[in-house]
């Protein structure tokens, strides 16, 4: 279990979704509420689901691209909160850059 720290920053992400038998790239955004060595808690109005692979590419903020997989979700009013685990080779640099945004 990783120790979580409060973290509040706006972030953009993209994912691929199948819609009407076509692969479509979706771009959405959200806000982090905490961060750990393993991932982030993300609040978004896009209906993310466990298993979705999110590519973080925050346009105006100095965050290198990062990748995460949605591990769990729960509804919070009209929004969705999800636990996103960092994956891939960029996980460490992405986590460090995210921490610098708050």
Q: What is the per-residue pLDDT across 47-62, written as a single tens digit (0 to 9) for each?
A: 999 999 998 876 555 4
Please tell me the pTM assigned to this model.
0.80
CATH classification of the domain holding 97: 2.40.10.220
From CA 66, how far away is CA 55, in angstroms rounded? Answer: 6
From CA 86, how far away is CA 32, in angstroms rounded? Answer: 13
Split into its structural domains, the chain has a count of 1
Range of the domain at 73: 5-101
* Three-state SS at 99: helix
From CA 71, how far away is CA 95, in angstroms rounded? Answer: 17
Higher pLDDT, 37 or 15: 15
Query: What would the two tokens of residue 65 be?
Result: 């691209």
81 pLDDT tier (thresholds 50, 70, 90): very high
In this model, does residue 66 exceed pLDDT 70? yes
Residue 38 DSSP class: S
């Amino acid at each position: 279990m990783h120790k979580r720290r409060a973290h509040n920053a706006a972030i953009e992400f993209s994912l691929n979704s199948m819609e009407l038998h076509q692969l479509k790239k979706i771009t959405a955004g959200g806000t982090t509420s905490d961060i750990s060595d393993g991932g982030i808690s993300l609040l978004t109005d896009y209906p993310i689901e466990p298993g979705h692979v999110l590519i973080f590419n925050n346009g105006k903020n100095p965050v290198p691209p990062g990748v995460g997989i949605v591990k769990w979700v729960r509804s919070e009013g009209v929004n969705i909160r999800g636990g996103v685990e960092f994956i891939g080779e960029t996980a460490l640099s992405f986590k460090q850059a995210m921490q610098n945004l708050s």
